Amino acid sequence: MRAVGVTDKGLIREKNEDSFLINEAKGLFVVCDGMGGHRAGDVASRLAVDIISKAAADDSFEDPIVFLNQAIWEANRAIWLEGQRNPQYYQMGTTVTAAVIKGEELAAANVGDSSLFIIRGNNIHKVTRDHTLAEQMVEDGILGYRDKAFNHILTRALGAELDVKVDNFIEKLYPGDYVLLCSDGLTDMLEEEEILSTVMGNNDLNETARELVDRALSKGGYDNVTLILLCI
């Protein structure tokens, strides 16, 4: 397994509110996107990554889903409490998409709209589900399509409330698979087919990751762009 991570401030934002973690020894990978327009989104995303990283140091990952959920709940509580204590950080928050790869199995957890994809052969499969108002309105039958006007209104985020619901996923991996974790700074700019063609069109993992970011920037780079790309 090989992994590379890239983050870029983008062309519009004044600072980078994304954070990511690669721990190949543990098979742990995390992308967090601090809530843009809120106070201290960068603080929230870094706090989430730090707490998950520290939790991993003392865990054997016997049950990766249990680990991910407990670490994310701990991060959520810490972010919420810090926001209550410090007026400067009030209402700060972040998304989180995290994965543990153990043997041939990928265990994932997400809150918010950072994504995890599996690319296999000529197919790309989005594993995670966005927690946005647009997605919720489609699920509830209010809209028949994902209206971009509601695409960035999160229905779940770390730090928004004292408790948070985490979605979980289990996927089997095969040699040659690619796994992509990314913030919405990438997926807002690139369609899934463009992500697929970019990944399949280059055998150099570092070059591929950089090309994905550069393509997002070339289309406007309105947001921070962060990704982790793995080859199994």
Q: What is the CA radius of gyration of the chain?
A: 17
* Residues 132, 154 contacting (CB under 8 angstroms): yes
Q: Which residues are within 8 A (CB) of 221 and not within 5 positions of it... i.e. 6 or more apart?
A: 8, 10, 11, 12, 185, 189
Q: Per-residue pLDDT for the chain (232 aa), expressed as one digit of tens each?
A: 999 999 999 999 989 999 999 999 999 999 999 985 567 999 999 999 999 999 999 888 999 999 999 999 999 999 999 999 999 999 999 999 999 999 999 999 999 999 999 999 999 999 999 998 766 666 655 554 555 555 678 999 999 999 999 999 999 999 999 999 999 999 999 999 999 999 999 999 999 999 999 999 999 999 999 999 999 9
Q: Where does residue 203 rank: exposed (0-12), middle (13-18), buried (19+ CB within 10 A)? A: exposed
- The model's pLDDT over 166-184, given as tens digits with 9 standing for 90+, comes to 999 999 999 999 999 999 9
Residue in this structure with the two tokens 């809120």, named with its chain if needed: 38
Instruction: Read off the pTM.
Output: 0.94
Domains of the chain listed by start with CATH number: 2-231 (3.60.40.10)
Where helices occur in 58-131 by DSSP H, the ranges are: 64-85
| Cα(223)–Cα(192) distance, integer angstroms | 18
- The model's pLDDT over 123-151, given as tens digits with 9 standing for 90+, comes to 999 999 999 876 666 665 555 455 555 56
pLDDT above 70 covers a percentage of the chain that reads 91
